[in-house]
Chain A
Amino acid sequence: DIQMTQSPSSLSASVGDRVTITCRASQSISSFLNWYQQKPGKAPKLLIYAASSFQSGVPSRFSGRGSGTDFTLTISSLQPEDFATYYCQQSYSSPRTFGQGTKVEIK
């Protein structure tokens, strides 16, 4: 199975900050890496697919980079509605696996 490791597990940031979350796969997954945002009590929402492609309607302050085993999600200027938990997920092979999540909290 492919293990997905996110870092950090949580972070505190202020509105306007630049935030970067890292995701590492235990083996190469090419660009089969997706990012989701989840707010309390809600279903996850797709932000980025295929490592760097935007889902329709996602603000341009979100961006994704990487290939192989190392990936990043960057929020260029954190907004109040961005405080949430973020998950990476590989869709390269089954079992599909998620990172453990990164909770972005208000400083």
Chain B
Amino acid sequence: EVQLVESGGGLVQPGGSLRLSCAASGFSFSDHYMDWVRQAPGKGLEWVGRAHSYTTEYAASVKGRFTISRDDSKNSLYLRMNSLKTEDTAVYYCARSSTGWYYFDYWGQGTLVTVSS
């Protein structure tokens, strides 16, 4: 059974940093792109970025502030968030991209990040 479990969310002050983790199980982690998607309170879904073995891509809104990494030996995905802004407040989901069509076929339960003074 595929499982994705995020952790690391919490309250952080503007300008601060936080690292989220996503532990994956039940599939061959190294075969898949893994993505981060966020959802601000009461708002829609926003793609944050994705990573495969040697490549990463980011949304313009987070590029230069957020870094996605992964450790395929630990089946884990990470999101390092620096210079956090109040508008980064959201539930952050990790999601698995299918091979080929790149739809998000499995999602974690999400972890809430609140940026506030």
> Could you list which residues of chain A lie within 8 angstroms of chain B, going by C-beta atoms?
1, 32, 34, 36, 38, 43-46, 49-50, 55, 87, 89, 91, 94-101
Contact = CB atoms under 8 A, between A and B. Distances in A.
Question: On chain B, which size bracket covers the interface?
Answer: 20 to 34
Given A96-B47, A98-B45, A101-B44, A91 B109 contact: no
Interface in B72-117: 93, 97-98, 101-105, 107-110
A95 B109 contact: no
Given A49-B98, A95-B57, A44 B105 contact: no
A43 B109 contact: yes
Interface in B48-62: 50, 57-60
Contacts of A32: 101-102
Contact of B103 (A43, A46, A95): A46
26 contacts: A1-B60, A34-B103, A36-B45, A36-B104, A43-B107, A43-B108, A43-B110, A44-B93, A44-B104, A44-B107, A46-B103, A49-B98, A49-B101, A50-B101, A50-B103, A91-B102, A91-B103, A94-B50, A94-B57, A96-B35, A96-B50, A96-B102, A97-B47, A98-B45, A98-B47, A101-B45
